[in-house]
Structure 1
């Protein structure tokens, strides 16, 4: 095991990918000489050259469009979108082309493109730098959508995403970039889960708390606080947002009888709504209370000085837990 910050774990994952597969390419704004705005790609262009780590123009539609063409020619491009809110100019390329090509060709043509997107708030950034837009892509058939929460998953999920023949939206919670954790050195380590599998990060019996990305640590903190009230919360990191690992989710909820879903995105038409519906259908006779959601408010992301009021925190998660036990 090696202890790494989440950002460094992605860097080591990209380095291993570039070493293992000569057809892999890293591309995006400032990923080369600068090493990325968060320095996630630091040193890669120096070691692998400008043909493998490519600084692109500030043109997200062109980045993704070029990646699609490269994938059709046998390459495995890994695109970096600098910030979550910058992905929208590439939206048509992603949902109308990237997500559809494999189905359109009856499975004959694979388009193995990975799009890395730093996601979420909590860093005091300006407008368009703190979006949580995962619901757009989870709604789009043909895309895999995953979100890491720690260094272990950042490293291994990225390597698995690049090996997949499906296009993958790979979310990275930017406020956790500097959080350190142990990373397994061996792909056969039991802690290296398939990237479409949810993970029980804290076992419990009283209530299931479902979350992902930057909210995982918040929910773990809430579970520790709830223990003082005699409530034993099970925390599950979804990891894969599309497809969902419903087997792990429903097994937990059937055991606990209660469920709260927490994410940074607005609750209206967010991922929590889909999860709540799926849990209600599968676990109806096990539920002791309705599935509750905790998320951002249904407003544009606010100026940074107000983001502490916007983002779900420990108190808002615990409030939902309390409401669940009132039923």
Structure 2
């Protein structure tokens, strides 16, 4: 379902001559967003020479040319409070006055399951040195997600990273580990035997290959414009950093490295700093 959320009259006669319709149209897709969703904004009427900037809430958007206009992927973080978020779009062009559109998008809440796990205490109550390591690794990932490349690398639909299996533990599950509440589950898990091939969900650049305490052996793929997918608990990886990969290309194998109760792939996705439901990403498609 499409929803036109703003029509903005041009601010100057120069703009009016450049855009005979006299309007800048901003469209949100899908019309309804929930916590953890991924969607996109489509801007028409900016003109071929225009630069488009924008934000949803406090998160900046990165636009690319698409379908006769400009588009940007929008991520609603896992822990966003339900309500409304302000959005803003500004267009800039040579010899033109800036045009600004703004509005609000409704974000609905979601109910998440509770997952109870029992793990060795050494994996829960960490030694000081291990805790420092885990904190540093988390910060390294956060810094990675702040790196926004200006080129769109993905094309078409995203594919499942493990063939022939349905995801188990879902996105957003509230985890109780050894009887104590922990961070919510920020991805979806695919159970499969050790050594099962793991493939890239779409084309991109390998941004990180590492072995961290909690995720174990991991691969992070930058799909461009702030969109990342992550593959945790790998038995091994067969790609290297800065390598370009295609959709469906094997990047490693399912394992049980890091904090894992058995072989599986933890598949996660980010739009900048926003943790999004990978299941929604698998349903996202642009006509190319």
Q: Does the pair score TM above 0.5?
A: no
- Compute the TM-score of the two structures, normalised by the length of structure 2: 0.28
TM-score (norm. length: structure 1): 0.25
When you count strand as a share of all residues, which structure comes out higher?
Answer: 2
Bigger radius of gyration: 2
Higher helix share: 1
